[in-house]
């Protein structure tokens, strides 16, 4: 996450002091990626060292104000113009976990998939409720509209991301079922029918993970609404 560029973007709208930058950053992103004031000042002093911001006196309350420099503006423009690199993906714990669960002796990969699916769908439920609130805020309009729109976009990104993950999990499960159906003894765990009629052939087949699990009470890392 680029705190550096985020701060430059906020400073482009006028001089600001450290805790003000933190508040504005969090209003835009709904505190999805919380910043502490220390990170803000560390980043500001690096930006100052690199000549992208300059201190420009104090406001009436004695806060040290920072202003973007011409170099800072150039850096910011480049950031907006240049796409975020997706060709060297960050390490994804879930993909690694499923890759390791294929054929692992101690775990049924379908259990791993289902427990992740529950967690992912739960996170989507939380994001969707926050989105409904953000949408209502945007429709009301008002002074904070720009921040509300920014927050809505961030939430929708989270929803798209979790949706992609949920779909991928469904896909993994059905692929494993298909593979185990064609290759007996494959590592997908007990074969389960994918078509309604198929269960007729084996009504005594063990129901996979038929016992309801304990309810998930863990938090899902939900960003708070403001």
Q: Pick from 124, 152, 154, 188 the residue near another protein by CB under 8 A.
A: 124
Task: Kindly tell me which residue out of 126, 148, 152, 176 binds another protein, with binding defined by CB under 8 A.
Answer: 126
Residue 220 interacts with another protein (CB under 8 A)? Answer: yes
Among the listed residues 122, 149, 150, 187, the single contact to another protein using CB under 8 A: 122
Residue number, 55 or 222, with CB nearest to another protein: 222
Spell out, one character per residue from 101 to 120, where the chain touches another protein: x when CB under 8 A holds, - when not.
-------------xx-xx-x
Q: Which window, 38-46, 84-92, 93-101, 199-207, contacts another protein (CB under 8 A)? A: 199-207
Tell me which residues in 40-99 interact with another protein (CB under 8 A): none
Backbone dihedral region for residue 77 (phi beyond 0: left; psi -120 to 50: alpha; all else: beta): alpha
Residue with smaller CB distance to another protein, 69 or 120: 120
Q: Which is nearer to another protein, 55 or 128 (CB)?
A: 128
| Out of 163, 178, 179, 181, the residue judged to bind another protein by CB under 8 A | 163
Q: Report how far residue 215's alpha carbon sits from residue 83's, in angstroms, rounded to the nearest whole number.
A: 41
CB of 34 to another protein, least distance (A): 6
Give dist(CA 37, CA 26) in Å, integer: 11
Taking CB under 8 A as the binding criterion, the range among 5-13, 80-88, 145-153, 203-211 that sits at the site for another protein is 203-211
- The reply on whether position 138 binds another protein by CB under 8 A is no
Contact 55, 61 (CB under 8 A): no
Where along the sequence are the contacts to another protein (CB under 8 A)? 31-32, 34, 114-115, 117-118, 120-122, 124-130, 132, 159, 162-163, 166-167, 170, 173-174, 192-200, 203, 207-213, 215-217, 219-226
């Amino acid at each position: 996450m680029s705190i550096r560029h985020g701060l430059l973007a906020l400073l482009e709208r006028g001089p600001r002091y450290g805790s003000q930058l933190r508040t504005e950053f969090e209003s835009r992103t709904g505190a999805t990626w919380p910043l502490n004031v220390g990170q803000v000042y560390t980043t500001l002093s690096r930006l100052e060292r690199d000549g992208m911001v300059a201190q420009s006196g104090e406001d009436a309350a004695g806060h040290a104000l920072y202003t973007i420099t011409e170099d800072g503006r150039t850096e910011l423009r480049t950031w907006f113009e240049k796409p975020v690199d997706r060709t060297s993906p960050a390490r994804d714990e879930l993909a690694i976990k499923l890759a390791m669960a294929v054929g692992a002796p101690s775990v049924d990969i379908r259990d791993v998939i289902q427990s992740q699916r529950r967690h992912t769908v739960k996170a989507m439920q939380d994001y969707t409720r926050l989105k409904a609130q953000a949408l209502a805020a945007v429709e009301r309009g008002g002074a904070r509209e720009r921040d509300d729109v920014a927050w809505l976009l961030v939430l929708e990104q989270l929803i798209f991301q979790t949706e992609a993950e949920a779909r991928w999990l469904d896909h993994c499960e059905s692929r494993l079922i298909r593979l185990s159906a064609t290759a007996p003894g494959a590592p997908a765990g007990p074969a389960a029918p994918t078509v309604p009629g198929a269960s007729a052939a084996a009504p005594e087949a063990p129901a996979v993970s038929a016992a309801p699990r304990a309810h998930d009470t863990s938090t899902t890392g939900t960003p708070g609404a403001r």
